[in-house]
Amino acid sequence: MQIKTTTEDEFHIIEIYGDVDASSSIKLDQSVEDAVKEGFKNILVDCSNLNYISSAGLGVFMSHIEEFKEKEICFALFGLSPKVKNVFEILGLDKLLKILDTKQEAKESKDKEVK
């Protein structure tokens, strides 16, 4: 897995390439933690090149949900393949996290609650 981070306007974007498994989830968690520590209020995760995510990878996002609420951070994922999106939906994570189809939709969701 590779991670690339960029900033567009007020959005910090974490791009994931490849598979997120138990060992690579540590790197993903560090990227999310760094974005929070740097004070970003809008964090988007580009999953368009994410092939697979393990329970450890899902746990990274779950472990930060309360912190995002407390710090009023808009956090959204976008570009999930149907296979990866299905994993989030089966576990009900689509009810706890913003999951959108495109970067534009993710940006526009910044002032909206998770449905």
Query: What residue spans define the domains of the chain?
Result: 2-111
CATH of domain 2-111: 3.30.750.24
pLDDT by residue for the chain (115 residues), tens digit each?
999 999 998 999 999 999 999 999 999 999 999 999 999 999 999 999 999 999 999 999 999 999 999 999 999 999 999 999 999 999 999 999 999 999 999 999 887 766 5
Give yes or no for a contact between 16 and 4, defined as CB atoms under 8 angstroms apart: no
**Helix or strand (DSSP H, E) at 41:** none
How far from 74 is each of 13, 39, 40, CA to CA, in Å? Answer: 12, 12, 9
How far apart are alpha carbons 103 and 46 in whole angstroms? 7
User: pTM value?
Assistant: 0.94
